[in-house]
Amino acid sequence: MQADHSLPETSAPAEVPRALPSTQAGYPSPGARERRAMLMRLLGTYGTIIVLGSMLLIFSVLQPGTFATIGNFRNIINDMAIGTIVAAGLTVPLVAGDFDLSIGYVASFCGLLVVGLLSFSGLSIPLAIVLVVGLGTLIGIVNGIVVSKIGVNAFIATLGTGTIVVGLNYAYSGGIPLQLTQSREFTNIAIGRIAGVPHLVIIMAVVLALLWVILNRTVQGQHIKAIGVSPESARRAGVAVDRSRIVAFAIASTCAAIGGVLMASNLGSGQVTAGDGFMLTSFSAAFLGSAALREGQFHILGTLIGVLTVAVGNNGLAMIGAPIFTQFLFTGCLLVVAVALGGIGRRYGRG
């Protein structure tokens, strides 16, 4: 136990000794090594906040009239609400040490399906939503069972179920977007406001609060966190490891389904691939979040900061009139930076 935890601290700084100015014959002085470890710890703990802060600063200087306005920030928050719900859901299996690559496809299918159920099957809005979100939960449970009970690697398993969901999507829609034939009642779910606050923002806040409570104030959350650190220790202490993993996948998939429904409501139609992009942005956000305040640990508040970072970046690029391809470059770079920062946090944070 002891050797295990002290290893990164002693071995990691020695990896790049030559890069240091104060080296003598390739070995850093103890002071330099300490400074470097300290710097890395800061980077792993505040890296994302530094990225977010510098973007806010740069875009505000470049576009003070359009970017740095309350109206624009209201837009940013509203636009990122659905992505936040999906990303926060993904955070739960990440905390448990698992991955879920199916969330984007689940969101797409659920958005399309809810429109179909309303427009063509004539279901009432509550029933359609309950059915679709329930389907999301079910997909998550299947993911969890395949990963924990059958022991398929989570990457492959969720890529598989995700692709099956794409298949179901095309089987249902024929690959053609579905138009919403119903009244404005359904679109009002996403577009409406209460006392000036958009529904989307309220729903986002409720989902975030709920997930935070689950992870930090329930026995289930405690178990999910424990298996993310050491499944074997948790198992030996009597934690139901498989069940906790299944619950974590179910939560992620449920949130993806909620995101899909809200997306359909926001768009007023069912688009075949509208939610696919959530996968990448959610991973970026969650990894960025792991380098915010917690030294490489995934957590709900961090993911919110992560989503905000992605959203501010994209919004700012649009505001300064950067061509659309730069947004892809930005998102891609951000994902790499995010994973790197999270890794630095994990490596240097302990001890």
Partner 1 sequence: MAQSTLLSLRHICRSFGGIQALDDVSLDIAKGDIVGLVGDNGAGKSTLIKILAGAHDPTSGEVILEGQPRRLSPPAEAQRLGIETVYQDLSLIGTFTAAENFFLGRELALGRGPALLRWIRLKSMGDTAIKGLDELHIDIPGVRSKTVERMSGGQRQLVAIARGAFWGHKLLLLDEPTAALGVRESREVLDLIRRLGAKGLTIVMVTHNLDHLWQVCNRVVVMRRGRKAADLPSAATNMEEVVAYITGAKEAMPARATALEAGA
Return the structure tokens found at 253. 């998939």
Is 2 an interacting residue with respect to partner 1 (CB under 8 A)?
yes
Q: Least distance to partner 1 from the beta carbon of 56, Å? A: 30
Instruction: Give the list of residues 6+ apart from residue 209 with CB closer than 8 angstroms, or none.
Output: none
Q: Least distance to partner 1 from the beta carbon of 262, Å? A: 23
- Residue number, 59 or 287, with CB nearest to partner 1: 287
Q: Least distance to partner 1 from the beta carbon of 298, Å? A: 11
Q: Least distance to partner 1 from the beta carbon of 97, Å? A: 12
Q: Nearest Cα to 308, choosing from 285, 327, 331, 334?
A: 285
From candidates 31, 150, 236, 324, binder to partner 1 by CB under 8 A: 236
Label residue 291 exposed, middle or buried (CB < 10 Å: 0-12, 13-18, 19+): buried
Instruction: Give the list of residues 6+ apart from residue 101 with CB closer than 8 angstroms, or none.
Output: 155, 158, 159, 162, 279
- Residue number, 3 or 194, with CB nearest to partner 1: 3
CA 146, CA 251: separation in Å to the nearest integer?
16
Helix (H) or strand (E) holding 301: helix 300-319
CA 229 to the chain's CA centroid: 19
Tell me the per-residue interface mask from 206 to 235 with partner 1, x by CB under 8 A, - otherwise.
--------x--xxxxxxx-xx--xx-xxx-
CA 327 to the chain's CA centroid: 18
Q: Least distance to partner 1 from the beta carbon of 238, Å? A: 3
Q: Least distance to partner 1 from the beta carbon of 123, Å? A: 28
Return the structure tokens found at 255. 């949130």
Is 351 an interacting residue with respect to partner 1 (CB under 8 A)?
yes
- Residue number, 73 or 212, with CB nearest to partner 1: 212
Is 5 an interacting residue with respect to partner 1 (CB under 8 A)?
yes
> Are the CB atoms for 101 and 159 separated by under 8 Å?
yes
Tell me the per-residue interface mask from 85 to 114 with partner 1, x by CB under 8 A, - otherwise.
------------------------------
The residues with which 197 forms a beta bridge, in sequence order, are 194
Q: Least distance to partner 1 from the beta carbon of 285, Å? A: 21
Three-state DSSP class for residue 277:
coil
CA 193, CA 159: separation in Å to the nearest integer?
37
- Residue number, 114 or 247, with CB nearest to partner 1: 247
From candidates 7, 130, 206, 237, binder to partner 1 by CB under 8 A: 237
Q: Least distance to partner 1 from the beta carbon of 216, Å? A: 8
- Residue number, 138 or 168, with CB nearest to partner 1: 138
Q: Nearest Cα to 82, choosing from 218, 258, 239?
A: 258
Residue ranges in 262-301 that form contacts with partner 1 under rule CB under 8 A:
297
Residue type, 125: I
CA 172, CA 195: separation in Å to the nearest integer?
38
Number of residues binding to partner 1, judged by CB under 8 A: 32
Q: Which residues bind partner 1 (CB under 8 A)?
A: 1-6, 214, 217-223, 225-226, 229-230, 232-234, 236-240, 243-244, 247, 297, 350-351
